């Protein structure tokens, strides 16, 4: 029996090469545009095209459907690496892989996989739309209705906070076929942008992750073929829950990337900035802050990587995913705040990148389940016995 222990955060040679490749791509192609995209709240569409060319949009999609046929963990590494450059860039790859692709691979029938997975791997951006104005943490208090006809459904309602909404071609939309049935009436639909009665509405003007689009969806007698039901009718709640469990690990990876970038900037600046005749890195107060930041980051990375490995190993990971998202998002806010303070007054300006990292970090405690919802999930597991 091999009892040798290997730290979860130690990557194999292939994993390191892949993560470095994604990071270098971000350094060369994304970093020069980050400030402009953040200011304009508009992501460069040519970068999205390059994501497809690099194979980053179908990491887990099987090779038979044109994907890389790789692991969930590799998706997590790609998300983390991109978030070190720009969290908005990471979100496009995150939603595509951990939510949209995963949902179709898990719940799609043979025809749906054959039709949509090759497109998602090569050219079509996906989005995931569950929330509404009145259903945030109460995710299944949906008002969007789906009325079944002969061989199609008519969808009516408004969806909110849809990430990638401005650019996506395919949307996983949740609506209820029977309000009286409660959550058992929720059904998931694959809605294509060119369907009659479908349109995108308001694009949110956000504090952080500004280059990532967050949009309202409008369903006005939107006709969706019955063949586009994802999973069984009335089983949309299962599609949503199981997909979000995986997605939360992706959010954790985003937070890791943001935190790692902040730490790197803090180390570099503390070596360059001089006060009282020497670099501020020589002061114990700064050294202790950086040491504390590095320790918190490493702890968060262990939680995120562990959850991803459990998912790949087909083991229970729901509690661990909630823990990873909860801790990494809290840590990211704290780390970016600490590093911003190391920069002093400069950190509060847009001349340096840490103020953007601070703004980008906050969303981690909100989307794909607030911190309170993660605590509730963890508590359920602890008290189950």
34-73 per-position pLDDT tens digit: 999 999 999 999 999 999 999 999 999 999 999 999 999 9
Residue 57: inside a domain, yes or no?
yes
CA distances from 241 to 17, 27, 55, 83, 129 (A): 33, 35, 27, 25, 13
Is 368 designated active site? yes
Distance CA(223)–CA(196), nearest Å, equals 6
Q: 242: closest CA among 128, 153, 71?
A: 128
What's the confidence (pLDDT) of residue 134? 85
What's the confidence (pLDDT) of residue 77? 98
281 lies in the same domain as 302: yes
Buried b / exposed e over 129-158, threshold 16 CB at 10 Å, is bbbbeebbeebbebebbbeeeeeebbbbbe
Which CATH number characterizes residue 284's domain?
1.20.140.10
377 lies in the same domain as 245: yes
Residue 8: inside a domain, yes or no?
no
212 lies in the same domain as 247: no
143-182 per-position pLDDT tens digit: 999 999 999 999 999 999 999 999 999 999 999 999 999 8
Question: Which of 80, 216, 246, 368 is flagged as catalytic?
Answer: 368
Residue 319: inside a domain, yes or no?
yes
Contact call for residues 362 and 285 (beta carbons, < 8 A): no
Residue 99: inside a domain, yes or no?
yes
Distance CA(91)–CA(83), nearest Å, equals 8
249 lies in the same domain as 313: yes
Residue 3: inside a domain, yes or no?
no
Q: How large is the greatest C-alpha to C-alpha distance in the chain, in angstroms?
A: 80
265 lies in the same domain as 343: yes
250 lies in the same domain as 348: yes
49 lies in the same domain as 82: yes
Which CATH number characterizes residue 209's domain?
2.40.110.10
Listed residues 61, 95, 124: the one ending a domain: 124
pLDDT above 80 (res 320): yes
Contact call for residues 23 and 81 (beta carbons, < 8 A): yes
Full domain range(s) for residue 17: 13-124
Overall domain count for the chain: 3
Structure tokens at 111: 């025809």
Contacts 24+ apart (CB under 8 A), 26-30: 26/81, 26/82, 26/84, 26/85, 26/86, 26/89, 27/85, 30/82, 30/85, 30/86, 30/89
Distance of CA 20 to the CA centre of its chain: 20
Distance of CA 38 to the CA centre of its chain: 18
> What is the full DSSP assignment across 341-360?
HHTGGGGGSTTSTHHHHHHH
83 lies in the same domain as 134: no
pLDDT band for position 138 (cuts 50, 70, 90): confident
280-296 per-position pLDDT tens digit: 999 999 999 999 999 99
pLDDT above 80 (res 365): yes
Residue indicated by tokens 């402009």: 36
Distance of CA 267 to the CA centre of its chain: 27
Residue 4: inside a domain, yes or no?
no
Q: How many CB atoms lie within 10 A of CB 76?
A: 29
pLDDT above 60 (res 1): no
pLDDT above 70 (res 17): yes
Which CATH number characterizes residue 93's domain?
1.10.540.10
Q: 330: closest CA among 286, 270, 375?
A: 375
pLDDT band for position 141 (cuts 50, 70, 90): confident
140 lies in the same domain as 223: yes
Distance CA(382)–CA(384), nearest Å, equals 6
223 lies in the same domain as 244: no
What's the confidence (pLDDT) of residue 224? 98
pLDDT above 50 (res 2): no
99-132 per-position pLDDT tens digit: 999 999 999 999 999 999 999 999 999 999 999 9
What's the confidence (pLDDT) of residue 53? 98
What's the confidence (pLDDT) of residue 139? 66
pLDDT band for position 98 (cuts 50, 70, 90): very high
Residue 348: inside a domain, yes or no?
yes
206-241 per-position pLDDT tens digit: 999 999 999 999 999 999 999 999 999 999 999 999
Listed residues 194, 214, 234: the one ending a domain: 234
Residue 173: inside a domain, yes or no?
yes
304 lies in the same domain as 324: yes
Task: Give me the percent of the chain exceeding a pLDDT of 70.
Answer: 98
CA distances from 369 to 33, 136, 218, 380 (A): 30, 8, 23, 15
Task: Give me the percent of the chain exceeding a pLDDT of 90.
Answer: 94
What's the confidence (pLDDT) of residue 6? 56
Listed residues 178, 204, 234: the one ending a domain: 234
374 lies in the same domain as 277: yes
pTM of the model: 0.96
Pairing mode, strands 145-148 and 152-163? antiparallel
């Amino acid at each position: 029996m091999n009892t040798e222990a290997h730290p979860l955060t130690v990557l194999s040679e292939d994993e390191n090469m892949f993560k470095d490749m994604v990071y270098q791509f971000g350094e060369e192609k994304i970093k020069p545009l980050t400030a402009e995209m953040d200011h304009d709240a508009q992501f460069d569409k040519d970068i999205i095209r390059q994501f497809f060319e690099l194979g980053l949009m179908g990491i887990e999609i099987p090779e038979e459907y044109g994907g890389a046929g790789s692991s969930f963990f590799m998706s997590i590494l790609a998300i983390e690496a991109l978030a070190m450059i720009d969290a908005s860039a990471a979100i496009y790859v995150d939603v595509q892989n951990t939510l949209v692709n995963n949902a179709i691979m898990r719940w799609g029938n043979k025809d749906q996989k054959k039709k949509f997975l090759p497109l998602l791997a090569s050219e079509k951006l996906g989005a995931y739309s569950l929330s509404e104005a009145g259903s945030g943490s109460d995710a299944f208090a949906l008002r969007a209705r789906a009325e079944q006809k002969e061989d199609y459904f008519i969808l009516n309602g408004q969806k909110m906070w849809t990430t990638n909404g401005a650019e996506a071609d395919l949307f996983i939309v949740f609506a209820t076929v029977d309000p009286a049935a409660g959550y058992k009436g929720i059904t998931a639909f694959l809605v294509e942008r060119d369907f009659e009665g479908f349109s995108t509405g308001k694009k949110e003007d956000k504090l952080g992750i500004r280059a990532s689009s967050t949009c309202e969806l409008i369903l006005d007698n939107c006709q969706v073929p019955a063949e586009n039901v994802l999973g069984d009718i009335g089983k949309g709640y299962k599609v949503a829950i199981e997909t979000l469990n995986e997605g939360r690990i992706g959010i954790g990876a985003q937070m890791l990337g943001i935190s790692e970038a902040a730490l790197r900037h803090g180390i570099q600046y503390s070596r360059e900035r001089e006060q009282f005749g020497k670099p501020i890195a020589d002061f114990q107060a700064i050294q202790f802050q950086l040491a504390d930041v590095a320790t918190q980051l490493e702890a968060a990375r262990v939680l995120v990587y562990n959850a991803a490995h459990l998912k790949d190993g087909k083991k229970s990971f729901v509690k661990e995913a909630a823990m990873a998202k909860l801790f990494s998002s809290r840590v990211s806010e704290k780390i970016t705040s600490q590093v911003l303070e190391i920069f002093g007054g400069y950190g509060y300006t847009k001349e340096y990148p840490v103020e953007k990292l601070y703004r980008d970090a906050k969303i981690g405690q909100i989307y794909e389940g607030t911190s309170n919802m993660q605590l509730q999930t963890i508590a359920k597991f602890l008290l189950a016995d």
